[in-house]
Structure 1
Amino acid sequence: MAFGIKRPELVSWKETVSRGEIAFLTHYWVDERFPGCKTVTKVGCSDINRLITWGTQYGLKPEWIDYKEAYPHFDLFGQHQQTIMKKEGMLNQLNRFEQK
């Protein structure tokens, strides 16, 4: 479940993913398996080959793609999330959660 985002942000992400474009969505996230991580960024794209190609440049493996709910995506968190979001020029998504 996504916390800290508004419905229009989620709808926009789903629409972008469905069009076969790379889309980023960061939200609050808590999972006991990943202590210290309070956010996750979902990087999605319905064009699986495009998503795999995008992920490969960051060392992400195709088997890490989550195929839930018809919106294939990688889950980024921790240092990997920070590094990739910086390279993608998307730190604004992370910064909005860091300030709270």
Structure 2
Amino acid sequence: MAFGVNRRELNTWKDRVSRGEVAFITHFWLDDRFPNVRSVTKAGCADIEKLSEWGKKYGLKREWIHKRHDGFPHYDLMGETQLYVLKEEGLDDHIKRFL
């Protein structure tokens, strides 16, 4: 279950992903499979090759890209990887708000 972002933030992320930008959205998240995780960051881009190349600098594998049927492929970032990527990308506002 995702919560903590509004429709405008979600639509902005979708627009940027659709334009081929690597875009980020972080939200609170509860999933029984990950009991110690309270938030997730989605790093998305419609251009899978670009997203895969971006992910390499963080040790992310191409096969980890969640290729959604709705056209918003993304990596799901959690835990230490999430925090590291957010810091490296200068997304301190995501860290303050969700971590």
Alignment TM class, shorter chain as reference: over 0.9
Report whether the alignment pairs 1:40 with 2:40: yes
Residue number in structure 1 paired with 2:20: 20
Indicate the larger mover: 1-10 or 17-26: 1-10
In 1, the alpha carbon distance for the partners of 2:21 and 2:98 equals 24
Indicate the larger mover: 12-21 or 33-42: 33-42
Residue number in structure 2 paired with 1:84: 85
Any gaps of 5 or more consecutive residues in structure 1?
Answer: none
Aligned AA for 2:18?
S
In 2, the alpha carbon distance for the partners of 1:22 and 1:2 equals 21
In 2, the alpha carbon distance for the partners of 1:34 and 1:91 equals 24
Alpha-carbon contact 1:43-1:75 (below 8 Å) kept: yes
Q: TM-score, normalised by structure 2?
A: 0.93
Aligned AA for 1:34?
F
Q: Map 1:1-16 to 2 at 5 A.
A: 1-16=1-16
Task: Quote the RMSD (CA, aligned, Å).
Answer: 1.1
Query: Cα deviations across residues 9-49 of structure 1 (Å, max 9, x unaligned)?
Result: 00000000000001000001112222211000000000111
Structure 1 runs (4+) deviating above 6 angstroms are none
In 2, the alpha carbon distance for the partners of 1:91 and 1:75 equals 18
Matched residue of 1:5: which SS? coil
**Aligned residues with identical type, % of pairs:** 52
